[in-house]
């Protein structure tokens, strides 16, 4: 009698040549406060001296962060909007303010809703 395969034997699985397992999209998230501070210091700006960022939110290649001022009371801290560039793996400041900072910024609606300062409820 010929040998038979055990009922618990599973066939070997192989991937066809040239295929790869899909990976997560690189959207820069999560991002650290130090990374955003480095992006902030790369641009000449008119904002008050900044020592860091807090209250970070990151989604879909965008991040918001609240400015930590060097001298308290010097100015009102602003919330900054950053955009991630996948090709260069870098973050850049898009805009800043205390409200409506996403107005005029091309951003998917789903991403916009992740940031309270961007989602005006409309």
Non-local (6+) Cβ contacts of 89 within 8 A are 26, 28
pLDDT attached to residue 48: 86
pLDDT at 54: 97
The percentage of the chain sitting over the pLDDT mark of 90, rounded to a whole number, equals 63
For 32-75, the pLDDT digits (tens) are: 999 999 999 998 778 888 999 999 999 999 999 999 998 888 78
Cβ count near 61 (within 10 Å) = 19
How far apart (Å, rounded) are the C-alpha atoms in residues 99 and 117? 6
Q: Which residues contact 64 (CB under 8 A, 6 or more apart)?
A: 55, 56, 57, 79, 80, 81, 82, 101, 115, 117, 118
Q: What is the pLDDT of residue 88?
A: 97
Instruction: Point out the least confidently predicted range of 14-18, 64-68, 113-117.
Output: 14-18
pTM, two decimals, is 0.77
């Amino acid at each position: 009698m010929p040998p038979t395969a055990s009922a618990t034997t599973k066939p070997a699985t192989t991937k066809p040549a040239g295929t790869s397992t899909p990976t997560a999209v690189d959207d820069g998230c999560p991002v650290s406060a130090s990374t955003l501070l480095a992006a902030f210091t790369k641009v000449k700006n008119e904002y008050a001296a900044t020592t860091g960022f807090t209250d970070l939110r990151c989604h879909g290649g965008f991040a918001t962060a609240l400015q930590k001022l060097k001298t308290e009371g010097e100015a009102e801290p602003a919330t900054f909007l950053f955009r991630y560039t996948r090709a260069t793996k870098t973050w850049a400041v898009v805009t800043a303010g205390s409200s409506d900072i996403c107005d005029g910024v091309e951003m998917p609606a789903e991403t916009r809703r992740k940031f309270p300062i961007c989602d005006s409820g409309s």
